């Protein structure tokens, strides 16, 4: 019996809990040595497969793997690299299959968002077409929470907890100084087309009228006049105004209020600069003193404030991906399913990658208040369970302790290198 090896890789922007999924994958592979030989991890995502830079995870101790559960970042390196369309260029796919065949890889686990789901689907389809079928399972991961067919995406819950906490703490700071100093504070958060992260800032308010006073969503067209009017009203009533703004907010004609002409490897416009743009508007229109901040990478790397339920989801999704492959399944994504009822309960499901790849799940309109500046009770009921629980990493000398893997590469078997 030819026992196949497995390949795992991380893709896209990493999260505070993506390594928990990696731990789940590795542990189940080790528990099934009679069915899965070695588990290789791609150095820097799918790029590692193309370059035949495969990390032999068998060199890592069980203790080191268990420490991945509380370590942020991408333990094996991630990437932003989108495979070309098969019809346009077959070279990349031929290279992948050559590498997988050379290392006897029959299982493919890709941990990422929508573009990663597309890659996973292509690997499954094209490996079959090329006569070397590979069981490919996608493990969901994105702080944007925009993958369809899953109740939510691992990584998002911890970002939501961080953003809500930051808004609550910053609001107390602004409130204490507003009589003689700063009156407006803006927190810019990630979210290209979907406002899930911005919405999570709304959890900071424990009762009506508390900060944040304005949330700006990509799903709602931005109107400068209405925005300034709401700020002025809020400052008159409260003495200060706290704003959470998604980086992807747009005018009614679809143009971003801030962004560059550059694009990333996935073809997405480079965003950023929303907070200072809004601050400039506020200064020009009101004269109020302001401050702004970017949550940026801090929001997705803050393992010290991770949501316990998010860690549990990520770990379980990694474990389930391997189990699905061993059951003979392929071209699927692991999903998180929410049971009906007042008490939050969940289970794992699956969705076809043909339905998931390159699709985005945006905020439902009934999650956003009629005026477009806040979240509704429906949104809060959805969001609250995802930030529940604390799962602190171990601390030493006042700082969190994280594991650094050996990441030893296995010997290359192909003579030629792949050039991008």
How far does Cα 307 stand from its chain's mean position?
A: 14
Write out the two tokens for 52: 């035949």
Q: Is 142 helix (H, G, I), strand (E, B) or coil?
A: coil
Burial class (CB in 10 A: 0-12, 13-18, 19+), 119: buried
**DSSP per residue, 244-281:** EEETT-BBTTS-BSS--S-B-TTSPBP---HHHHHHHH
Distance CA 7, CA 109 (A): 6
Burial class (CB in 10 A: 0-12, 13-18, 19+), 182: middle
The answer to whether residue 144 is catalytic is yes
* Active-site residue identified among 115, 118, 144, 310: 144
Cis? peptide before 212, omega within 30° of 0: yes
- Give residues with Cβ within 8 angstroms of 395, minimum separation 6: 401
Q: Is 206 left (phi over 0), alpha (psi -120 to 50) or beta?
A: alpha
Q: Is 221 helix (H, G, I), strand (E, B) or coil?
A: coil
Write out the two tokens for 73: 């970042």
Please report how the helices 114-129 and 91-102 are oriented relative to each other, as an axis angle in degrees rounded to 10.
70
User: Do residues 223 and 252 lie in contact, with contact meaning Cβ atoms separated by under 8 Å?
Assistant: yes
Of 301, 310, 306, residue with least CA distance to 336: 310
Please report how the helices 224-238 and 274-286 are oriented relative to each other, as an axis angle in degrees rounded to 10.
70
Sign of CA dihedral 152, 156, 162, 163: negative
Distance CA 383, CA 156 (A): 10
What are the residue numbers of the active site? 144
């Amino acid at each position: 019996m030819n026992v196949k090896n497995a390949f795992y890789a991380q893709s896209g922007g990493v999260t505070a809990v993506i390594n928990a999924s990696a731990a789940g994958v590795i542990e189940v592979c080790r528990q099934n040595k009679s069915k899965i030989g070695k588990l290789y991890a791609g150095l820097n995502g799918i790029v590692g497969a193309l370059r035949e830079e495969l990390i032999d995870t068998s060199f890592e101790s069980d203790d080191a793997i268990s420490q991945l559960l509380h370590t942020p970042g991408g333990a094996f390196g991630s990437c932003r690299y989108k495979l070309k369309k098969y019809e346009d260029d077959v070279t990349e796919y031929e290279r992948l299959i050559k590498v997988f065949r050379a290392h006897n890889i029959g299982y493919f686990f890709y941990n990422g968002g929508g573009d990663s789901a597309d890659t996973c689907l292509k690997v499954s389809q094209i490996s079959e077409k090329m006569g070397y079928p590979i069981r490919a399972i996608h493990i969901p991961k994105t702080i944007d929470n925009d993958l369809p067919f899953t109740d939510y995406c691992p990584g998002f819950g911890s970002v939501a907890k961080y953003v809500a906490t930051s808004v609550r703490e910053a609001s107390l700071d602004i409130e204490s100084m507003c009589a003689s100093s700063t009156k407006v504070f803006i927190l810019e958060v990630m979210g290209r087309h979907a406002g899930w992260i911005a919405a999570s800032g709304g959890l900071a308010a424990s009762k009506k009228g508390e900060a944040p006073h304005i949330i700006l969503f990509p799903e709602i067209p931005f109107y400068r006049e209405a925005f300034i009017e709401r700020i002025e009203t809020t400052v008159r009533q409260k003495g200060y105004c706290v704003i959470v703004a998604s980086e992807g907010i747009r005018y009614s004609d679809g143009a971003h209020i801030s962004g560059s002409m550059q694009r990333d490897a996935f073809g997405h416009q480079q965003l950023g600069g929303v907070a200072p743009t809004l601050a400039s508007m506020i200064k020009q229109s009101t004269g109020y003193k302001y401050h702004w901040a970017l949550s940026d990478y801090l929001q997705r790397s803050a393992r010290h404030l991770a949501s316990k339920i998010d860690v549990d989801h990520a770990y379980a999704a990694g474990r389930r991906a391997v189990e699905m492959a061993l059951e003979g399944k392929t071209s699927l994504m692991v999903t998180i399913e929410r049971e009906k009822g007042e008490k939050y309960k969940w289970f794992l499901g699956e969705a076809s990658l043909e339905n998931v790849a390159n699709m985005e799940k945006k905020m439902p309109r009934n999650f956003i208040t009629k005026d477009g500046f806040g979240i509704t009770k429906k949104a809060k009921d959805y969001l609250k369970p995802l930030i529940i629980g604390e799962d602190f990493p171990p601390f030493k000398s006042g700082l969190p302790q994280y594991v650094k893997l050996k990441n030893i590469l296995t010997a290359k078997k192909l003579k030629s290198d792949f050039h991008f």
